Each structure stands twice: as structure tokens, then as C-alpha cells.
Structure 1
Amino acid sequence: MSDSRSGTRVAIVDDMTIYNASAQKQQLLDALAVHDEIEIDLSAVAEIDTAGIQLLILVKREASRLGKRAVLVAHSAAVREVVDFFNLAASFGDPMLIPAREG
């Protein structure tokens, strides 16, 4: 996690699955409690299931409720695929940049 005064970047380094959701929820909500804006770096997420998607929705909703921002950045291929499958890109409102070459 890298910090600045008003914001922080939280790198998710494990899969966003039901097995990790509880710990990740606490990590993200703790960061949101301290900072006005958090960037959630999803570049290392190799697998994401519905628990992970629910967590991202929760954090975005909680940030909005508190008048803060949670921004999803550096979406991995796995995250892009699931966000696309559930047609959530517009709901999240964050740009999803697709690298010119993956792999």
C-alpha cells in the first residue's frame, strides 16, 4: 500500500475469491476509513469470483456513501473478463485500459 495525505493505493496481491474476501474487505474498508480516495490496484488478481465482484461493489458503494472515492485501476485480464461478463464496467465508472500486448 502506498500512501499520500488524501489518498492511497491498495494493491490486491491475492485472488479475489471467497477464500480471501473477508481479509480483503477489511483491508479495503480500513483504507477507506483513513483516506478520502483509494486506488485499488487489480493488476495481480489472477482469479476473481462473485465474492470478489461483490466486494468491489461494496467498496464503491461505501465510498460513495461516505463522500469518498474508490477507483479501480490496472485491471488484470481475469478482472476485465468477469467485469465484462457481468456488464459492470459502466456501473463501476472506472476506465479499463487494455494493454496492447498481454502475456
Structure 2
Amino acid sequence: MSPSPTQTPALLFIEGDLTIRRVQELKDVLLARLAQSPALEVDLAGVTEIDSAGVQLLLLAQRMARASHKELQLVAHSPAVAALFGLLRIQ
């Protein structure tokens, strides 16, 4: 599902670590922003480190968006995100 042409997605910038140390804090913020908007764009350019807990959080957000018929886009992957997504074959 794509946002309508007049619908601008809300933006969320994640900076620093997207690791087990911050997942709970980021989960609350990410899911709250997703609940507030029909479309959310998550900018990952500032992510300096990501681990499997961070990937699980992003996958959870995608499942939640799909279940509630919302649009979620992960954009501007940092080198750390691109490397792990490549290793895991995540697009």
C-alpha cells in the first residue's frame, strides 16, 4: 500500500546505536509515531551500529504497519545498516 499523492509521511530519524541497549526506548517511540500517522518514513542515515535486536525492531514495525494498513518506509540506510541488511539479505 502506498500513501496517496497528497499524503506526506511523518518522519522519524534514528541516530546512534540501534542495538539491544536502546531497543526498548526506540520501540516506544517508533510504535507511537506509527500509531499517529497513516504513513511513516524512518531515516536510518544516522545509525552508527545495528544488531539483531535492532533488525527485529524494524521487522516488528513493518508487521505492525501492515496489520494496521499503514505505510512504513525505511530510507537512507547508513553503512552499518546497509552492511547488516546485505548480510541478512533484507531489502
User: Taking structure 1 as the reference length, what is the TM-score of the superposition?
Assistant: 0.79
Runs of 4+ in 1 over 4 A off after TM superposition: none
**Which consecutive unaligned segments of at least 5 residues does structure 2 have?**
1-6
CA distance in 2, matches of 1:37, 1:26: 17
User: Match of 2:86, SS?
Assistant: helix
Task: Quote the residue 2:3 is aligned against.
Answer: none
Task: Quote the residue 1:66 is aligned against.
Answer: 68
Task: Quote the residue 2:15 is aligned against.
Answer: 13
Structure with the bigger percentage of strand: 2
Cα deviation for residue 14 of structure 1 reads 2.4
User: Match of 1:44, SS?
Assistant: strand
Structure with higher RCO (Cα < 8 A, 6+ apart) = 2
Identical columns (%): 38
Task: Quote the residue 1:96 is aligned against.
Answer: none
Contact 1:11–1:42 (8 Å) recurs in 2: yes
**Which consecutive unaligned segments of at least 5 residues does structure 1 have?**
90-103
Kindly tell me the number of residue pairs found equivalent between the two proteins.
85
CA distance in 2, matches of 1:11, 1:46: 13
Q: 1:54-93 residue pairs with structure 2 within 5 A?
A: 54-89=56-91
Pairing 1:28–2:30 present: yes
Structure 1 counterpart of 2:69, which letter? Answer: G
